[in-house]
Structures are given as C-alpha cells and as structure tokens.
C-alpha cells in the first residue's frame, strides 16, 4: 500500500509535468499563432492538464499495483473522447443545438456500461435518468463556470483536493490516485490561468473536468448503513458550480435567454461589473468552495459539530456573494 509521502510524490510529478507541458505548448502556440481567438492567450490548458493527468495516473497505477477497474477505464476513455470533441468545438465553434445533441448521445453511450447512481428504493429507470441529468448538468456547469481568469481552474482544484481527502480517509487508493494526479495537473494550470491569464482551458478543459467530476463522484462508497448521510457528499463538494448554474439558468430564463447561451449573469461577472476587485472576488469564491469542500469531508464522520459549522459557514458565505452580486433595482 502506498504511503502518504508517495502520494505527495505523484502530486509533484503531475504538477511538474503539467507545468512543463504548459510552457512547451504555450510557446508552440504563440510561435505559430495556433489555438487562439481574437489574439488572446492560447486555449490549450485543458489539453495539457488532461494529458498529464493520464500520464501521471498511469505511473501511479503502475507503482501502486492498484487494479484498474474496467469501469474506470470506461470513464477515462469517454473523458478523452469528450476532450477531443470539445477541442474541435474550440477550433470550429459548433452551434448550440449541435453541441447539446452531441452531449446527449455521448452521455447515453457512456451510461450503457458506466456506473450509474444507485438509490436502491428507486426504480432502475429513475436511477438512469438521475445519472444522465447529473452528468449532463455538471459537465455543463463547469463549462459555464469558465468565464473568468482563475475561476474554473481554482474551483476544480479545490473540489479535486476535497475528493482526494475523502479517498484518503476511506482508504480508497484508486480514487486517491485519480484525484491526487488530477490535482497536481490542474494546480499547475491555475498558476498560468490566474489574472492576467497566460493560458485558457477552453471548452475542452472545462467539459473534461465537469464530466470527470460527475462520473468519478458516482464511484465513491461514501455512505454506510450506520451513516447514510454521506450520500450527499458529492453535492456538498460540488455545491458552488451547481448553485452558480441554477442561479444562471433562473437569471437567463427571466430574461428570455436560452440557459446555455452566453450572458453576463454569472455570480462572478456580476461582482466584477459592480466594481469588485477581480482578485478579491476570486478569493471570495475560493473561500466558499473551500467551505463546501470541508463540509463534504466532515460529513463522513456523521452529523458532527465540525460538519454543522462548515455547512452553516458555506451557506452564509454563498448567500453573501449572491446578495453582493445581485443587480440593484
């Protein structure tokens, strides 16, 4: 069994490889004017940290001798198929209807073999529908969140570290390896993506992360018969992307805009439009995600004071930034 210091080593390996890939790919893109829109920084961040994630996890898997389940291979396969499709979207910009149709077919095919949500008192077709909505919702939630320097990357890093901590507590080496290598790769990207961003993740990176979090979160054995409460653990760790998306959809419906179309109704963009400093706004959202992540970690131990404190703080700080970003009438 791998010790904690070995996991730290793989985090560092993933971070260093991602840092190197980002420097290399960025220089190539700038040199040959590739993968850029409107003379902005290149959107190859998602491609870089995704490739590094697979390389680093393969090394981890070989070193730890953990049996890689066929269904995890299925997740990784579909994650990269989605990465490729969305990278083409970054280059060509598919119409919204085409993008939605591709996602529906893609998730349907994934669920033919991939693990589904299993709520035992519900019929199988409802569990299938919930699984479909969970994957579709989170995949697009992370894409919708990618609207500011450092935002989606930072939120993803915090969520990944929270899931890694949960895996360590549960002694789940498979999930620990997945999330520690993902964390290292995304951390390097965040350093390049903080304002002013030198690299963007693109639709490919945000959809990859959303799909990965959605599918991997269904694999963890969080609850027990004595403590069923951790069933909601993924909802807690991923609460902010979910809340931001719901807030966005409601705002757009009120304006008569399609939920997946672009607009400035994001919590983060509202804060900036009201004159709040971009770095302080980012830190506020990072803090909220950190609190939600802690509440997800502490729920493993049941209905404890630490869980209640972090949950209440997460709710209060979330309400604070929503109120702060609300348009004045």
- Structural domain boundaries in the chain: 1-221, 224-329
Task: Express each pLDDT in 285-324 by its tens digit.
Answer: 999 999 999 999 999 888 889 999 999 999 999 999 988 8
Highest mean pLDDT among 145-149, 187-191, 220-224, 254-258: 187-191
Backbone φ and ψ for 82, nearest 5 degrees, come out as: -65, -40
Task: Express each pLDDT in 238-268 by its tens digit.
Answer: 999 999 999 888 888 887 777 766 667 788 8
The angle formed by the CA atoms of residues 266, 91 and 39, to the nearest 5 degrees, is: 75
**H helices, E strands: number in the chain:** 13, 0
Cα–Cα distance for residue pair 18/157, rounded to 1 Å: 14
- Model confidence at 124, in pLDDT bands (50, 70, 90)? confident
Q: Is the pLDDT of residue 92 over 70?
A: yes
Task: Express each pLDDT in 97-114 by its tens digit.
Answer: 898 999 999 999 999 988
pTM for this model (two decimals)? 0.94
Among residues 106, 282, 290, 116, the alpha carbon closest in space to that of 207 is found at: 106
How far CA 171 is from CA of 79, 82, 148, in Å, comes to: 25, 30, 36
Question: Residue 37's pLDDT is what?
Answer: 64
Cα–Cα distance for residue pair 84/69, rounded to 1 Å: 23
If you average pLDDT over residues 67-95, what whole number do you get? 89
Q: Is the pLDDT of residue 329 over 60?
A: no
Mean pLDDT of the chain: 88
Percent of the residues in the chain that have a pLDDT greater than 90, as a whole number: 57
Q: Is the pLDDT of residue 327 over 70?
A: no
If you average pLDDT over residues 90-96, what whole number do you get? 86
- Model confidence at 1, in pLDDT bands (50, 70, 90)? very low
Percent of the residues in the chain that have a pLDDT greater than 70, as a whole number: 91
Cα–Cα distance for residue pair 191/202, rounded to 1 Å: 16
Question: Residue 74's pLDDT is what?
Answer: 92
Task: Express each pLDDT in 4-53 by its tens digit.
Answer: 778 899 999 999 999 999 999 999 988 878 777 655 778 999 999 999 99
Question: Residue 309's pLDDT is what?
Answer: 96
Among residues 34, 48, 100, the alpha carbon closest in space to that of 208 is found at: 48
Tell me, letter by letter, the H, E, C secondary structure of 30-67: HHHCCCCCCCCCCCCHHHHHHHHHHHHHHHHHHHHCCC
Structure-block tokens of residue 42: 């290149």
Q: Is the pLDDT of residue 198 over 50?
A: yes
- Model confidence at 213, in pLDDT bands (50, 70, 90)? very high
Question: Residue 229's pLDDT is what?
Answer: 66
Higher pLDDT, 116 or 129: 129
If you average pLDDT over residues 167-188, what whole number do you get? 93
Cα–Cα distance for residue pair 245/213, rounded to 1 Å: 15
Share of the chain residues as helix, strand and coil, in percent rounded to the nearest 5? 75, 0, 25
Q: Are 181 and 53 in contact (CB under 8 A)?
A: yes
Lowest mean pLDDT among 167-176, 190-199, 228-237, 289-298: 228-237
């Amino acid at each position: 069994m791998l010790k904690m210091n070995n996991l730290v080593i793989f985090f560092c390996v993933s971070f260093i490889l991602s840092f190197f890939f980002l420097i290399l790919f960025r220089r190539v893109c700038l040199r040959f004017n590739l993968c850029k829109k409107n003379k902005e920084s290149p959107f190859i961040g998602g491609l870089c940290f995704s490739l590094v994630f697979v390389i680093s996890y393969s090394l981890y898997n070989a070193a730890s001798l953990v049996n890689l389940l066929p269904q995890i291979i299925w997740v990784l396969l579909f994650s990269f198929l989605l990465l490729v499709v969305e990278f083409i979207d970054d280059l060509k910009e598919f119409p919204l209807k085409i993008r939605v149709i591709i996602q529906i077919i893609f998730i349907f095919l994934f669920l033919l073999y991939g693990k589904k949500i299993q709520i035992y008192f519900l019929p199988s077709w409802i569990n299938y529908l919930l699984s479909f909505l969970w994957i579709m919702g989170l995949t697009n939630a992370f894409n919708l969140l990618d609207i500011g320097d450092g935002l989606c990357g930072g939120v993803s890093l915090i969520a990944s570290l929270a899931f890694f901590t949960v895996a360590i507590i549960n002694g789940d080496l498979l999930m620990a390896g997945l999330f520690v290598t993902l964390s290292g790769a995304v951390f390097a990207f965040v350093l390049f993506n903080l304002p002013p961003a030198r690299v963007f993740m693109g639709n490919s990176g945000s959809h990859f992360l959303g799909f990965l979090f959605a599918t991997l979160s269904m694999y963890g054995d969080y609850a027990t018969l004595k403590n069923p409460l951790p069933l909601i653990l993924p909802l807690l760790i991923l609460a902010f992307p979910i809340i931001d998306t719901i807030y966005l959809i409601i705002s757009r419906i009120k304006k008569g805009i399609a939920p997946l179309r672009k607009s400035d109704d994001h919590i983060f963009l509202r804060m900036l439009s009201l004159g709040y400093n971009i770095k302080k706004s980012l830190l506020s959202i990072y803090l909220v995600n950190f609190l939600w992540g802690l509440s997800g970690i502490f729920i493993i131990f049941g209905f404890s004071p630490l869980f209640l404190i972090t949950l209440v703080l997460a709710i209060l700080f979330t309400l604070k930034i929503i109120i702060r970003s609300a348009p004045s009438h």
